[in-house]
Chain A
Amino acid sequence: MKKYLFVIILIFATQLVFSDDISIETYVDKTKIGIQEYLKYTIEISGEKAGDVKPPELPDIDNFKSLGTSSSSSSSYSIINGRMTAEITKSYTYTLQPRKTGTFIIPPITIKYKKQVFTTDPIRIKVIKGSTEPAPPPSNRFKERDAQESTNLSDNLLLLARVDKRNVYKNEPIIVNYKLYSRYDIANLSFSSEPSFNGFWKEDIFLPENINFQREKYDGRMFNVMLMRSTALFPTSTGRLEIPSLELQVDIRTQSYSFFDFGSTKRYTIRSKPIAINIKELPIENRPINFSDAVGSYRISSTTSQTDIKVGDSFTYTLKISGSGNLKQFDPPILPEIQNLRFIDPEVSTKINKDKISGTKTIKYLVIAQEKGEFIIPSISFSYFDTSQKKYITKNTRSYNINVQEGDVTFIPSSTAQSIVEMEGSDIGFIITDTQMRTSIVYLDRFGYWLIWVILLMLIPASMVYSNEQRKLAYNIDYLRQKQANKILKKYMKQASEHVIKVDIDFYLAAQVGLSSYLADKLKIPRGSSTEQLLSEIGKGEIPDETMDKIKNIFEKCNQARFMPGGFSKENIDNDYKLLKEIVSDISKMKI
């Protein structure tokens, strides 16, 4: 009841913007608060159209943490002279938790509505240590007769963090316990946030499930004590690390003063103090080669299920590392490869005890015997850093003799048992025994090679010259006729020879036409000249008289055969064909 007397609503920011529509106000429930208390910050929007304004967004406020928001709205209607006016008020209330002591300012809030911008005034808040209100008196149960009772909250409500050691080696576990000490009736408890254990690897040992207090004496007074959290921390880096503080929200039930007063609860936030831990690097000297980051104190043992087996059979080989330390974080020792004993990839299981720092790591290999013989599974050594003796310790397992006998089944290697051919040694390649020891010829050094280039290159001008000649002749009609003469003659000679075989008078026709056009073309005489003209033209040329006579002779015979009846006979045709051939060969021999 009393507390309501303190709740004075202070209207700080009363920037009443006199607009047609809305007005905005902000206020807090108090301007001076304790660090363990909460501040209520309200934004109130009122006016006829207040319902249209978007909910304001709270900016990040330095040194305060927003824990949540609630909103409410109310409306009133009034009818004056038959005119109805509506008044709507929307308020948003934020719960803010101070982060540290000092004087801070809640910045102005800007709200936009219909192109109008409303800005509220900043509010100054003073945050002090402890509480602004007197703490409620401790529970009656703790009242001691003669003792001077302190009413300070911090004397009656404590959260203490305790570690088992402050100077540790890397990977050496630390156990931190957070304990709540209270002399109040506690209605409820909750963690406000998960602390971040930077630089540690954490394993929670204990987290409470329900409120469970035990009475304990601390500092000469009785307290209700509850273990809030117990965590094993394994430092992963070296140097000075801090175990962060745990934050708790505690609801304390206040005492009732009268029969009708059932009391109420009040919320406080308490934190434990952070603890600095000094973490040392493991010493480098005497560090064993097979050291794999195991820190603590361990035992190692090995067992085999069998020592006498048959080829193709399998047995299990188990390594067991037990003790306390960072069991989860180190690699198990590596088994050397043993020929003809195939170790299937192991099954590694780590069983950690409730205290989170001790347990057993079991490495179980299934081993298949591949060949007959005596094999030794050697002693396996495991090294760790003993934190109590502050030195490296190496422990060995015993070795086993495995006797493999001929089995019923021959071992058939599965595909996984196949291996790539391994290089067993390297050497230079053998000498070359090719006896053809000739000096290798380099073509580029040879004159002949470059001569080919020159010859090839010469082909271009040669072909150009040739092409030019061809072009010149192509425009020369006489040349073309000369070229064609042989073709025409061939054609007629063929005809003539056919007629000779058939003993036909057409032989003479073919012979005359063929010969005269051949001569005309060959001697560049215009075509269609008569036989006389042809003969006189031929006469001008350098044709020997003998041939000339033959030509005249054959032309005459042709005329006779064609125009005189019975002018041809079998013998004549043969003779004339012979004569014709002679003429042709004579002329073709001549250079014209």
Chain B
Amino acid sequence: MRKSVSVFFLFLLTVGLLANSQVDNIFKEALNDFESRDYQNALNKFRSIEHEGIINANLFYNIGNCYFRLNEIGRSILYFRKALKVKSNHEPARRNLEFVLTFTKDKQDSGSEDVIRSFWKRLFDSFSINLLAVITIIIFSLIILLICLTILFYREREKTVPLFITTILIFFLFIFLILSLLKWRDYHIENEGVLLALSAIGYSGPSNDFTRVFTIHEGMTFEIERQENDWCLIKLPIGLGGWIKIETFERIKL
């Protein structure tokens, strides 16, 4: 009995290791395919790795590259956005996204980005979610350390200095905690979509019979607000809202 259990665990372990090395092999093959310009095969291999349930910014970035080579602008944008969702400071993905966006028919920025907002956005993007988590916990442990030291050794002494430092640290903790929670929310929220169809018409209601509000083209990124049967209410970056068919786009999700 005990023997069989240990054999079972050994099996699980080897399977896990094998799976990992297998993924690495597939990845290497995909890289070779890409380098020999067999983009379709490279893409299939990369996608198979994605099917294993691996969430990795570099993987998504490579898939985006393959799609771009295969002229599928919409999907390429989708995957670059996915890569940025995993790692907001993924510089190659950001550059490629900017480049690919020049191939789309619709202009995508809202056009009214002021300096402060774009600066804030850049700053926010330059912190990865894990870095924020680590910074937050370091500040938190510093605060705890200070409080404990104060309790233990400043019993009869003046407490101004440790209290002052603690206050400052709590202020920073607050900021970084909010930042990391915002990041965490961004990471898990799935309210953004990329249009994959060549074009889609936005109606004022969830049916063809409603008034046409706008026409968007492949690669457009938008927010998804509501879903009703086969229709989704989306909001474009310029602020326009309308209903489009669900099969025309795909959500940016991990």
Using CB atoms and an 8 Å cutoff, list the residues of chain A in contact with chain B.
426-435, 437-444, 449, 452-453, 456-457, 459-460, 463-464, 466-467, 470-471
Contact = CB atoms under 8 A, between A and B. Distances in A.
A452 B99 CA distance: 42
B27 A426 contact: no
A171 B145 CA distance: 82
Contacts of A428: 65, 68, 95-96, 99-100
A444 B135 CA distance: 12
B65 A460 contact: no
Given A431-B62, A432-B62, A467-B152, A439 B144 contact: no
Contacts of A442: 129-130, 133, 184, 187
Interface string B82-121: 0000110000100110011000000000000000000000
B73 to A, nearest CB: 11
6 contacts: A430-B65, A441-B130, A452-B137, A453-B137, A460-B144, A460-B147
A438 to B, nearest CB: 7
B97 to A, nearest CB: 9
Give the interface size bracket for B toward A: 35 or more
Interface of B: 23-24, 27-28, 31, 34, 49, 53-59, 61-62, 65-66, 68, 86-87, 92, 95-96, 99-100, 129-130, 133-134, 137, 140-141, 144, 147-148, 151-152, 155, 180, 183-184, 187
B151 A464 contact: yes
B98 to A, nearest CB: 10
B133 A443 contact: yes
A467 B151 contact: yes
B147 A443 contact: no
A444 B134 CA distance: 9
B58 A432 contact: yes
Contacts of B66: 431
Name the 4 nearest CB pairs between A and B, nearest first.
A443-B133, A463-B148, A432-B58, A431-B62
Given A433-B31, A467-B152, A439 B54 contact: yes
B155 A453 contact: no
Contact of A437 (B24, B130, B148): B24
A444 B180 contact: yes
A457 B144 CA distance: 7
A459 to B, nearest CB: 5
Given A426-B99, A460-B144, 6 more contacts: A431-B31, A437-B58, A437-B59, A438-B54, A443-B130, A443-B133
A437 B53 CA distance: 11
B95 A429 contact: yes
A435 B27 contact: yes
A440 B180 CA distance: 16
Contacts of B23: 437
A432 B92 contact: yes
Given A444-B180, A460-B144, A438 B152 contact: no
Given A426-B99, A441-B130, A460-B147, A432 B61 contact: yes
B48 to A, nearest CB: 11
Contacts of A431: 31, 34, 61-62, 65-66
A432 B63 CA distance: 10
Given A431-B62, A453-B140, A464-B151, A439 B49 contact: no
B116 to A, nearest CB: 27
A456 B31 contact: no
A437 B99 CA distance: 25
A433 B152 CA distance: 53
Nearest to B87: A440
Contacts of A443: 129-130, 133-134
Contacts of A426: 99
A359 B59 CA distance: 70
Contacts of B28: 435
A432 B91 CA distance: 12
Given A429-B95, A429-B96, A463-B148, A439 B53 contact: yes
Which of B57, B96, B147, B151 has most A Cβ within 10 Å?
A: B151
Nearest to A458: B144
B61 to A, nearest CB: 6
B126 to A, nearest CB: 17
A351 B150 CA distance: 89
Which of B144, B184, B187 has most A Cβ within 10 Å?
A: B144
Nearest to A426: B99
A27 B226 CA distance: 91
Contacts of A433: 31
Contacts of B133: 442-444, 449
Given A427-B99, A428-B100, A463-B152, A437 B54 contact: yes
B27 A437 contact: yes
B184 A460 contact: no
B144 A459 contact: yes
Contacts of B184: 442, 444
A456 B24 contact: no
Contacts of B92: 429, 432
Contacts of B57: 440
A438 B57 CA distance: 10
Given A428-B65, A444-B180, A449-B133, A456 B140 contact: yes
A442 B181 CA distance: 12
A513 to B, nearest CB: 34
A437 B147 contact: no
A432 B129 CA distance: 21
A538 B165 CA distance: 53
Which of A430, A440, A453, A463 has most B Cβ within 10 Å?
A: A440
Nearest to B103: A428
Nearest to A434: B58
